[in-house]
Structure 1
């Protein structure tokens, strides 16, 4: 009985944690949705694969935070299922970015370095704020952890975009932009693997709790 209670306490966040987490999720959802609108326009205008990839990442994160809001307070099985879906979406994002990078390599696009740098700085500030808001929940269940992993990858991606902008400006070619887009794709795929693995273990635990006793 004691072990069961301890397990429940570990996997089911208290109501006050859920309330605070909801407020944080609403804030980061608004930040990500706004940045998607800004960055997708800038990415298309500048002809930058890394900016477009980062913009789609903002959109995916906004959707993921919306899913997280929906399942806060639900059972471990429901929260793990949502995290599994988010891990799958992160993986699809990674594959999409690889496709964009290949297209820009084929078409020989040379992006606008100044636009990349300016928007990259704004995106970094937005993700740094989201990262700080989610920091307290980085060690939670797979649903909370997935939200934090997404934002962590975004901050790394923003630094990479800034490096790409400097590289494009210095070399006069689009290669740095393509390289960074590929790096961002790899980050998304690595994050997807971490989230899916954690969520799968929680799903196994959640299903075992609901399994009938006896044969």
Structure 2
């Protein structure tokens, strides 16, 4: 058994992990993949030469670098997979619940910040769902699900971004800051619970590390919406809400592009 180590400079979340897994799914010689997202490292355990594997990874355009190949024994699979999946289902449920809550209250309160944050929650839900719901499916089905999810997220984000622009150039109402702050505080608490569940598992596996990164980013976004709501109150202006909404929509669009890469 051979172990080849790659450095993947642009591998910073589970989207890139899924891209690599799908790309190498048809390689019978690949026996196991071990991801270290924090260090941008991938270890491939395989039985034949690495040239074809390296070429497949290189085609993804993630700035890969082959660090070396050595003989090694195949690692024993982790026995806590069921616990990890249970935690990810909880995190998925929390994210999707707050997507619905924030989208609804965002329209009621006229807050683009809440609407954008809801789509950020949806983006994470899609990534978790892709990892959990299509396990064991064919590569073709996985790519179809990724493509549909990516386009759906892209469409919602573009509609939201266009609404931000419309409100910038029109006399739209000032959002209800109380809704922004209260709902975002609850979303923040939900993400803190998610992060606690993930960290409690103490897993070093890539998908759990990526989930922690996603959730930490969500906490920052929640704080941004709370800050925007406070500024709306003190300035009696719609601009803080539109600025934070536009920034979050930009991140959601970037996430949609990453998901769409999975379908290629």
Fold equivalence (TM over 0.5): yes
2:206 aligned with 1:140: yes
Query: Which is higher, the Rg of structure 1 or of structure 2?
Result: 2
Deviations 1:8-59 (A, max 9, x none): 1526993524312210111112212322332223212211111122223334
1:46 to 98, 109, 122: 109
Per the alignment, residue 165 of structure 1 pairs with 229
State TM-score, norm by structure 2.
Answer: 0.59
Q: Relative to total residues, which structure has the larger helix share, 1 or 2? A: 1
Instruction: Provide the rounded CA distance (Å) in 2 between the counterparts of 1:87 and 1:146.
Output: 18
Per the alignment, residue 175 of structure 2 pairs with 111
Structure 2 CA distance for partners of 1:18 and 1:94, relative to 1, 3 Å: farther
**Number of corresponding residues:** 197
Per the alignment, residue 8 of structure 1 pairs with 32
What pairs up with 1:56-71 in 2 under 5 angstroms?
56-71=119-134
The question of whether the paired residues in 2 share the 8 Å contact of 1:90 and 1:192 is answered with yes
Can you give the 5+ residue segments of structure 2 that lack an aligned partner in the other structure? 5-28, 36-43, 45-75
Q: Relative to total residues, which structure has the larger strand share, 1 or 2? A: 2
2:100 to 37, 40, 43: 37
The question of whether the paired residues in 1 share the 8 Å contact of 2:119 and 2:157 is answered with no
2:185 aligned with 1:121: yes
2:246 to 177, 182, 198: 182
Instruction: Provide the rounded CA distance (Å) in 2 between the counterparts of 1:83 and 1:148.
Output: 23
2:194 aligned with 1:130: yes
The question of whether the paired residues in 2 share the 8 Å contact of 1:53 and 1:97 is answered with yes
Per the alignment, residue 91 of structure 2 pairs with 28
Can you give the 5+ residue segments of structure 1 that lack an aligned partner in the other structure? 204-215
Structure 1 window deviating more from structure 2 (88-97 vs 121-130): it is 88-97
What root-mean-square deviation, in Å, do the aligned CA atoms of Structure 1 and Structure 2 show? 3.7
Instruction: Provide the rounded CA distance (Å) in 2 between the counterparts of 1:67 and 1:18.
Output: 16
State TM-score, norm by structure 1.
Answer: 0.70
Deviations 1:67-98 (A, max 9, x none): 321244x4996898599656666655543432
The question of whether the paired residues in 1 share the 8 Å contact of 2:119 and 2:252 is answered with no
